[in-house]
Amino acid sequence: MQAILLVGGQGTRLRPLTLTTPKPMLPVAGVPFVTHQLARLAAAGFDHVVLATSYRAEVFAAHFGAGQNLGLRLSYVTEAEPLGTGGAIRNAAAALHPGDELVVVQNGDVLSGHDLAAQVARHRATGAVATLHLVTVEDPRAYGCVPTDEAGRVLAFHEKMPEPVSDQINAGCYVLDRAVIDAIPAGAVVSVERETFPSLLAAGAVVTGVVDDSYWLDVGTPAAYVQASVDIVTGVVESPAYTGVPVDPSAVVDPSASVVGGTALGAGVVVGAGAVVAASVVQRGVRIGAGAVVTRSAIGAGAVVGDGRVVTDAAIADSATV
Ligand code: GTP
């Protein structure tokens, strides 16, 4: 099986962290976020993954190479200009080896424990041209919603609305017939969510939704990004990519400091006397001063948190001093 991972977005909601590092490469529980997705794909039996890159494309291949450490073959396809989700899928498909009728496509910013094999099996069983993972959320107003009938057939794709007709939302993982991808115009900016899927419905094609309410988190915002790392470290969700060691061995934590609540510390981090670091992601080379209190925050590489400073629910830029 082959998959395409969409990793080319600008990650604007995660600025300033994404000014230097693309969202899928931000550290989560000690490894770049997308490592968790790649490890899950490898565990599910995928052998080839194409990374559809655009923003800061070069960092992906520099880190993952040909994929040998993950037991996968990785290819990289870069858009000269970002083509949106649909355009990126079409562009990346050029690197798939031909012959597979099905392709799995995932957004590169979703941490999910859902049963991918079941989603693929459902696609095969229903004869749909596209099978989408859907999740139910308490407040769907912030998302486009995707109502289905009793048989799971998608009825519509609605944009955000004040009174959503369903609490089901698109979870960013699709099984697509290769023909669906080949029908996307080459070289054009296309949104798979807003253009490709609605036009399939308009043409009378069968699009199926699979509701799976296992762990799911879209790491689009600083709070969700920090939560993803905490959830892996504290075991709320399992990842085959997590080493089980949230504090890099080269970090130096004063014996009187507390590092708690699922915090992950990167290489070379120094935590001073009496400091408390709770439920946070601290990237490599950060210095946290004596008596500082850092809670539910993401601290960018090389940043300095001064003695006694209190940082709560914050996203601090690389090399910043607070
Ligand atoms: P925001 O700017 O904060 O909305 O984040 P984003 O840029 O990641 O956008 P969004 O969350 O809507 O993207 C969903 C997924 O598609 C992410 O994994 C993105 O990396 C990816 N993505 C979005 N646009 C493009 C694109 O033009 N090209 C490629 N290759 N990937 C994209």
The pick from 15, 85, 143 for probing ligand 1's pocket by mutation, whose C-beta has the most ligand atoms within 8 angstroms, reads 85
Which residues of the chain have a pLDDT value below 70? none
Q: Answer whether 107 contacts ligand 1 (Cβ < 6 A).
A: yes
**By alpha-carbon position, which residue is closest to atom 31 of ligand 1?**
8
pLDDT attached to residue 161: 84
pLDDT attached to residue 12: 96
What domains are defined for the chain? 2-233 (3.90.550.10), 252-316 (2.160.10.10)
Residue-wise pLDDT for 112-148, tens only, equals 999 999 999 999 999 999 999 999 999 888 888 999 9
pLDDT attached to residue 1: 92
Q: Answer whether 116 contacts ligand 1 (Cβ < 6 A).
A: no
pLDDT attached to residue 213: 82
pLDDT attached to residue 220: 94
| Residue labelled with tokens 């995660």 | 14
- Written in H, E and C, the secondary structure of the chain is CEEEEECCCCCHHHCCHHHCCCHHHCEECCEEHHHHHHHHHHHCCCCEEEEEEECECHHHHHHHCCCHHHCCEEEEEECCCCCHHHHHHHHHHHHCCCCCCEEEEEECCEEECCCHHHHHHHHHHHCCCEEEEEEECCCHHHCCECCECCCCEECCCECCCCCCCCCEEEEEEEEEEHHHHHCCCCCCCCCHHHHHHHHHHHCCCCEEEEECCCCEEECCCHHHHHHHHHHHHCCCCCCCCCCCCCECCCCEECCCCEEECCCEECCCCEECCCCEEECCEECCCCEECCCCEEECCEECCCCEECCCCEEECCEECCCCEC
The sign of the CA dihedral 167, 172, 173, 176 is positive
Ligand 1 atom closest to Cα of 7?
Answer: 20
pLDDT attached to residue 50: 98
Q: What residues contact residue 228 under an 8 Å CB cut-off, 6+ apart?
A: 28, 29, 33, 111, 217, 219
Q: Answer whether 212 contacts ligand 1 (Cβ < 6 A).
A: no
The catalytic residue positions are: 160
Using CA atoms, how far apart are residues 58 and 45, in angstroms rounded to an integer? 27
